[in-house]
Amino acid sequence: MLSSEAVELHLRGRFGKPYLYEPECESTQQLLVDSGLPEGAVAATDHQTGGRGRLGRTWEEPAGSSVLVSVLLHPPAERRLPELSLVAALAVAETVELAVVLAAQVKWPNDVMLNRRKVAGILSELSDGTVVVGIGINVNQTRDQLPLGAPTEPASLRTATGTTYDRAVLLGSLLMRLERMYDVWLDAGLDGIYGGLGARDFLRGRRITADGEPATAVQILRDGRLEIETDSGEVKALESGEVLFAR
């Protein structure tokens, strides 16, 4: 369980103060949006009945299988907020790598990949200067418990390694890493974590379709945009959007 008793002994920093836990809720995002809570407030659950993805999509998991968490942040106005999803994705990738001892990658703009499959998704929602960063990590699902028909094939830590994991330990480790990375980003922007991000850039050099157009991904840029070269030879940088890749 991700109850306070299970998780709080793994929390040593500012993130997780306060720590809100519901055994089940519609979405952990809802527990923090407009809550008036301080930066670092965290909401976690063992099951969402209305888990949100981006652009009105849904995030699905069987109860007790996943890390489902949202973190409230008050970033300064001068920072580029779309970068926060990449900061969170890198923190998730490093946490996953430490647990499974396999390389994980960041698929721009908001996914974490293991063995070319999506193991985690990030959703950043902005309102009134606060950002709620939501993270869903597939941990202990068996193959048949993962959603069917997703455009990017899903995986869990368990399907990748055959082992089950303690979700409370993972969440504690994620929140500590995210806090450290967020502090670096506050000081130095994406430049501060670009080494780790560039080394885990899943799309770099891959054939992709970006908003319907065939292209090759060049790289994630230092300002968080994705540089691509279209098949007609045009090089451009995407601010946001949907990227599909050829497996």
Please identify, using beta-carbon distances, which residue of 70 and 140 lies nearer to ligand BT5. 70
Phi, psi (degrees; rounded to nearest 5) at 125: -120, 130
Q: Which is nearer to ligand BT5, 66 or 194 (CB)?
A: 66
CB-based closest residue to ligand BT5? 121
Interface positions with ligand BT5 (CB under 6 A): 27-29, 48, 51-55, 57-61, 68-70, 110-111, 118, 121-123, 134-136, 138, 147, 150-151, 154
Q: What is the token pair recorded at 148?
A: 């069917």
CB of 29 to ligand BT5, least distance (A): 5
State the nearest-atom distance from the C-beta of 235 to ligand BT5, in Å.
25
What are the tokens at 200? 């885990």
Cβ closest to ligand BT5, residue 12 vs residue 57: 57
> Are 213 and 176 in contact, with CB atoms under 8 Å apart?
no
Q: How far apart are CA 20 and CA 218, in angstroms?
A: 40
From the CB of 243, what's the least distance to ligand BT5, in Å?
A: 10
Nearer to ligand BT5, 52 or 200 (CB): 52
Spacing of C-alpha 54 from chain mean position: 12
Query: Which CB atom, from 11 or from 156, has the smaller least distance to ligand BT5?
Result: 156
For residue 105, the minimal CB distance to ligand BT5 (Å) is: 15
In this complex, which beta carbon is closest to ligand BT5, that of residue 69 or of residue 181? 69
- Residue number with CB closer to ligand BT5 (11 or 157): 157
Burial of 205 by CB count in 10 Å (0-12 exposed, 13-18 middle, 19+ buried)?
A: exposed
Nearest-approach distance from CB 233 to ligand BT5, in angstroms: 29
Smallest gap from Cβ 173 to ligand BT5, in A, equals 17
Task: Provide the minimum distance between the beta carbon of 134 and ligand BT5 in the complex, in angstroms, as a whole number.
Answer: 3
